[in-house]
Amino acid sequence: MVTFNNFIVTDGIFSMRGDYAPLDIISNLSKKYDREFPENILLVVDDSHGIGAYGKTGRGTEEYTNAKGVDMLVGTLGKAFGVNGGYVTSNQTIITYLRESAPMYIYSNPISPAV
């Protein structure tokens, strides 16, 4: 299992001002310095305000900035999608870890269907 002790965490869109994080630059910095940290760097982006609104196809700030290498993308379905719940996207190792160890996931119910 891969261990991460170093995180870069940012919003995709900063809701109070409406400006966006330069994810392309942040991602490049993360990759540039990743080798210098013994347990890697994990780039986490909360794109609750970007998904469905930014990018050519609405895929959010990552698409809007042409960023490559966001390791974990989290967000809510309550803004652009108008339903309850949220999501986490990442690689299979991280998703498996979250499914097996996150109490909020283990002891929860599925999202209600959209009507």
Q: What is the pLDDT of residues 68-96, one digit of tens each?
A: 889 999 999 888 888 888 899 999 988 99
Closest to 8 in 3D by CA, of 43, 32, 36, 40:
43
Tell me which of 56, 68, 79, 101 is the catalytic residue. Answer: 79
Name the pLDDT band for 15 (thresholds 50, 70, 90).
confident
Bridge-based pairing state of the strands 86-89 and 72-76 = antiparallel
28 has a pLDDT exceeding 60: yes
pTM as predicted: 0.83
Domain ranges in the chain are 6-106
CA–CA gap between residue 32 and residue 21 (Å, rounded): 18
Q: Which CATH architecture group holds 6-106?
A: 3-Layer(aba) Sandwich (3.40)
Of the listed 31, 32, 49, 101, which one is catalytic? 49
Question: Is there a catalytic annotation at residue 15?
Answer: yes
pLDDT over threshold 90, residue 24: yes
**Cβ-based neighbour number of residue 100 at 10 Å:** 9
What span, in angstroms and rounded, lies between the C-alpha atoms of 9 and 87?
16
Task: Kindly name the residue from 15, 32, 68, 108 that is annotated as catalytic.
Answer: 15
Phi and psi of 7, rounded to 5°? -125, 145
The residue-averaged pLDDT of 50-66 equals: 94
Percentage of residues of the chain with pLDDT beyond 70 = 91
Residue 26 has phi, psi (to 5 degrees) of -60, -45
Summarize pLDDT for 91-114 with one digit per residue, the tens: 998 899 888 888 877 777 776 776
